[in-house]
A = this chain, B = another copy of it.
Amino acid sequence: MTQPLTRIQQKNTTAILEAALEVFSQHGFRGATLDQIAKAAGLSKPNLLYYFSSKEAIHETLLNGLMDTWLDPLRTLNPQGNPVDEIKGYVQRKLEMSRDYPRQSRLFANEILQGAPRIHDGLGGPLKTLVDEKATVIQGWIDAGKIAPLDPHHLIFSIWAMTQHYADFDVQVRQVLGVSGDAHFAQAAEFLDAFYTKSLTP
C-alpha cells in the first residue's frame, strides 16, 4: 500500500532522480558519489538518504523507470503496417531518443558495459520476450517477401547499436565530425533512412 506523495516529497524525489541521472550517466555507478548527487539536487547528503535508503536504491529506481520508456518505441512496431516504413519509423524514434535523452542512454550503456549486475534478470525476461515477439513479426514479413531476408534479432541489434551510438559515443562523433550543436542528428537521420531503405527493400 503506497502512500500518496506530498508536494515536498514529490519535488525532492524528482530532484534527486534528475540529479542522479546526470551524475550516474556521466560517471557510472561506482564513479558517482552521493555528495555529487546531493549537491546537484540542492540537498544535503543525509537528506538524500531520508528519501532513498541507499545509493543503490537511487540507481535501481532510475533503471526501473527507464526500462519501459526505453522499449516503448519497439513496442509500437505495428505488425499490420508497411514493413519497411515500420522498421524505419522505429529507427527514427530510437534516434530521436538518443538526441533528446542521451543521459538515459548512457546510464543504460554504463550498466550493460559493467555486465548489467543490477538488471541482469530484466534482460533475459521482459526484454527477451519483447524482442522475440517482434523478431517473429519481422520473420513473418521476410517469409511474405515484404522485406529482404536478414536475421531479425541481429537487425534489431543493428538498430540499437547505430542509434544509441549517437548518444553513448557522442564525444567521439562530435570530435570526428568537428561539430558542436545538434545538426549532425539530421545527417544521421538521413543516413539511417537511406541505409535501411536500401538494406530492407527486397
Which residues of A pack against B, CB within 8 Å?
26-31, 106, 109-110, 112-116, 120, 123-124, 127-128, 131-132, 148-151, 153-155, 157-158, 160-162, 164-166, 168-169, 171-173, 175-178, 187-188, 190-192, 194-196, 198-199
B28 touches A191 (CB 8 A): no
A155 (CB) vs chain B CBs: closest residue: B191
Contact partner, A175, options B120, B151, B160, B171, Cβ 8 Å: B120
Task: Give A114 to B155 CA distance when docked, in angstroms.
Answer: 28
Copy tally for this chain in the complex stands at: 2
Return A36 CB to nearest CB of chain B, in Å: 11
Collect the chain B residues with CB atoms within 8 Å of residue A124's CB: 175, 178
Q: List 23 A-B contacts (CB under 8 A).
A: A27-B114, A28-B110, A106-B113, A109-B113, A110-B113, A112-B169, A113-B169, A116-B171, A116-B172, A116-B175, A120-B175, A123-B172, A123-B175, A128-B176, A149-B194, A153-B176, A154-B188, A154-B192, A155-B195, A158-B191, A161-B161, A161-B165, A196-B199
